[in-house]
Amino acid sequence: MTEKAARDHITIILNKPKYAGNIGSVARCMKNTGISKLSVVSDGGYDEEEMYRMATHCAMDIIENIDYYDTLQGAVADFQYVIGTTARKGSKSARQPLMTPSGMAEGLVDLSRNNDVALIFGPEDRGLTNDELKFCHALVTIPTSDQLKSLNLSHAVMICCYEIFNAFQESVQRFTPRLASSRELEEMYEHLKEMFITIEFINHENPDYWMMNVRRLFSRFHLYSKEVKIIRGICRHMERYAQKQNA
């Protein structure tokens, strides 16, 4: 697979951006670094003229082909690997492990050859919430000076996209199998939650809180679709066994 074809597997997702001009600026940054797929999670209502003005004529095609989604879960459903960006370290269960942009980019070179990858950026004023970060397999933070930690949205996108562009220039092609999609993983987590409640492994009053640790555990690994099916098969057998015991 060529470098361009591999980069075509990478999508930038802007989750509820506040300003149309920032979407245009992001498109221009993507064009500079050879990434062409942009998705936006929002109810719409952006000033298209402002987006085109900031994108300039060079990146108009990216603006014209934006995929819009109502929810972040819907936007990431078909991706095998999802990376979130955050400026806050936060609690260990929700915001670990953290990678630098260069470390993230190095890993994406191989992954993107056979997997669809999403890189998510949150709103300009608050970033991604813990609930939104649960969809991510890994997190990226951009080191900044203590004098000013916040970054403009397009600047953050440019830094990450540049590192990806640079990593591809230095890469040697290797084979990487296809991973489980975000949809498959979410169905697995829901199945695990139901099974854990059935066998009284987690508190049924607040299961999502306990599932954050489970998500953190599995996020350390690159799960393949076949492995997700095995885990769900184990869940089904354990549920049947628990039902027999309670009969």
Domain boundary among 169, 192, 216: 169
| Predicted pLDDT at 172 | 52
Query: With a cut of 70, which residues of the chain have pLDDT below it?
Result: 1-2, 4-5, 89-97, 171-177, 247
Is 218 a member of any domain? yes
Q: Which residue, chain included where needed, has tokens 């992001």?
A: 26
Give 181: exposed, middle or buried? Use CB within 10 Å, 0-12, 13-18, 19+.
buried
Range of the domain at 110: 3-169
Q: DSSP class of residue 56?
A: T
Give yes or no: residues 22 and 128 share one domain: yes
Is 176 a member of any domain? no
Is 177 a member of any domain? no
Instruction: Render pLDDT for 167-207 as a digit per residue (tens, 0 to 9).
Output: 988 765 555 667 888 999 999 999 999 888 888 888 778 88
Give yes or no: residues 189 and 124 share one domain: no
What global pTM score does this model have? Answer: 0.73
With CA atoms as reference, report the closest residue to 61 among 29, 40, 37. Answer: 37
Give yes or no: residues 121 and 189 share one domain: no
Q: How many domains does the chain have?
A: 2
Is 88 a member of any domain? yes
| Predicted pLDDT at 89 | 63
Helical pair 207-218 and 182-198, crossing angle rounded to 10 deg:
130
Give yes or no: residues 187 and 108 share one domain: no
Within 13 Å, how many C-alpha atoms sit on residue 38's CB side?
31
Is 236 a member of any domain? yes
Give yes or no: residues 71 and 193 share one domain: no
- Cα gap 9→26, rounded to integer Å: 18
- Domain with residue 222: its CATH number is 1.10.8
Give yes or no: residues 7 and 99 share one domain: yes
Give yes or no: residues 116 and 23 share one domain: yes
| Predicted pLDDT at 2 | 65
Give yes or no: residues 91 and 186 share one domain: no
Give yes or no: residues 16 and 42 share one domain: yes
